[in-house]
Amino acid sequence: MVTGVSRLLGARLAASLAADPRVDRVIGVDVVDPPASLVDLLDGVARVRVDSDSFGSAIAGADAVVHLALVTAPDPRRGGRAAMKEQNVIGTMQLLAACQREPRLRKLVVRSSTAAYGASFSDPAVFTEDDAPREVPRGGFARDILDIEGYVRGFRRRRPDVTVTVLRFAPVIGATIDTTLTRYFAQPVVPTVFGRDPRVQFIHVDDALEILRRAVTEDHEGTYNVAGPGVLLLSQAIRRAGRIPIPVAEPGFSAAIGLTTSLGIGRYTRDQLDLFVHGRVVDISRLVEEFGFTPRSTAEAFDDFLARHGGGMVRAERIAAAEQAILEAIRQVRAAREGT
């Protein structure tokens, strides 16, 4: 059973599992119907639409559950933050309660996030799976993630016979995926926090899928960071995208988030503000060792995203051409002066 199949990652995982001869039957669960673009993908998947507080109702007889149905940012059209928390926290509680009662269950894979490490000024530069957040995070999503991981720990204690894999994903990026963060980089002028240039990491959507697939078809008990090796600075990523960074003072940024959120037109969340101030880099050596798989680097994943969403105002070729033109002009001026 896979939850969250009405979005790209869930739909692709469900489709890939349905095509796997080792898997008999795939049940795809979500709170909304999939968009038209994903319906074809879900051909071989038995789809069930549920309310966010009854994920567990579709579980009967499942021997593996993959929980991907998390909301990363409040959607004002679908109930905002309250609905987001309802689905993330209550939805997960419900699902875990049903899992606990399901005797055939052997495996549980839960999508988490590197937001689990919170954001504080006394954080180490690179997080390992054993690090705990030093402060309660400001962002709703990060707090939900902490709650969810808490419930999963409880589940592990009560069902030690089930293999539980928690995957802490860095932001997922790729040519085909549409998230708040990909929309952020697609704007012509990109706001950043003044005086901060955080380190960010991405995971390519195809690699995220491959790791989820391996987590389901193989046995990998434990918690793993999932991110592309290497880092980009936020300013560097914006430059590579050919966009123009506009630094905004943090109090102003924070106030703007509060205002736009209360007006229901929120584009950014405090989760993102934390990311834009602190950045977040994780150590993936445990993942590489256990899964025998190295995702493509953060820079490569970002390049692939740019291949589709590129075409910013500042093109690398134009800058290279300008560089050559200026160099030639200086040479000519100097040569002319030497000549006279």
Partner 1 sequence: MSDQSVPGDHPHHSALSAAPDEPDEWDRRVAAALAFLRRRLTGQYEVDAFGFDVDLTEHVVHPLLRLLYRQWFRTEVFGVEHLPAQGAGLVVANHSGTIALDALVLATVLHDHHPERRHLRLLAADLVFRLPVISEFARKIGGTLACQPDAERLLRAGELVGVFPEGFKGVGKHYTQRYQLQRFGRGGFVTAALRTGVPIIPVAIVGAEEIYPMLADIKPLARLLGLPYFPVTPTFPWLGPLGAIPLPSKWLIEFCPPISTAGLADQADDPIVVLDLADQVRETIQQTLHRLLERRPDPFAP
> What stretches of the chain adopt beta strand conformation (E)?
2-3, 27-30, 46-49, 64-67, 107-113, 163-169, 172-173, 189-193, 199-200, 203-204, 222-226, 232-233, 244-248
Name the residue nearer to partner 1 (CB basis): 259 or 327: 327
> Per rule CB under 8 A, is residue 332 in the interface with partner 1?
yes
Question: To 5 degrees, how large is the angle CA 288–CA 133–CA 297?
Answer: 30
> Per rule CB under 8 A, is residue 316 in the interface with partner 1?
yes
Q: Shortest distance, CB of residue 125 to partner 1, whole angstroms?
A: 5
Name the residue nearer to partner 1 (CB basis): 224 or 253: 253
Query: Token pair 């960074």 is at which residue?
Result: 245
> Per rule CB under 8 A, is residue 320 in the interface with partner 1?
yes
> Per rule CB under 8 A, is residue 335 in the interface with partner 1?
yes
CA distance 300 to 304: 6
The binding track of 199-238 with respect to partner 1, each residue x by CB under 8 A or -, is x------------------------------xxxx-xxxx
Q: Which stretch binds partner 1 (CB under 8 A): 45-53, 58-66, 67-75, 122-130?
A: 122-130
Among 69, 154, 62, 68, CA closest to 102? 62
Residue of 36, 125, 132, 263 interacting with partner 1 (CB under 8 A): 125
Phi and psi angles of residue 192, each rounded to the nearest 5 degrees, phi first = -130, 170
Name the residue nearer to partner 1 (CB basis): 24 or 317: 317
Specify the amino acid at residue 40.
D
Q: Which of residues 248-287 bind partner 1 (CB under 8 A)?
A: 250, 279, 281
CA distance 8 to 205: 9
Which residues make up the interface to partner 1 (CB under 8 A)? 121-126, 128, 131, 193-197, 199, 230-233, 235-240, 242, 250, 279, 281, 314, 316, 319-320, 323, 326-327, 330-332, 334-336, 338-340
